[in-house]
Amino acid sequence: MHPALLATIALFVSTLCYASRCYLSPFGSCRKCQGKRRRGPRHCRRCDSTGLRLRVGRRLWNYVRHLHHDGR
Ligand SMILES: [Zn+2]
């Protein structure tokens, strides 16, 4: 098989996996506090101490959905 075709298939499959992950669990754990809600003694401002953050793919999906909704 051609290497470029193989790379295209791999990219497509990984994108599909990521999209389904964003759909099934839109929240990932916060990278700043690793989902522990705190950074040492301090309150985590990145996730507002929820330990969760919205995945980039899901944020993109929400953006596209709003764009579509507003574009009527
Ligand atoms: Zn956090």
Greater pLDDT, 27 or 1: 27
Q: pLDDT value at position 32?
A: 83
60 C-alpha to ligand 1 centroid (Å): 20
41 C-alpha to ligand 1 centroid (Å): 12
Is pTM, for the whole model, over 0.85?
A: no
55 C-alpha to ligand 1 centroid (Å): 13
- Alpha-carbon gap, residue 28 to 36, rounded angstroms: 12
Q: Which ranges of 1-72 does DSSP label H, i.e. alpha helix?
A: 3-24, 56-70
Domains of the chain: total: 1
- 6-55 pLDDT tens trace: 999 999 999 999 888 888 888 888 888 887 766 677 888 888 888 888 88
Q: pLDDT value at position 38?
A: 67
Range of the domain at 60: 3-70
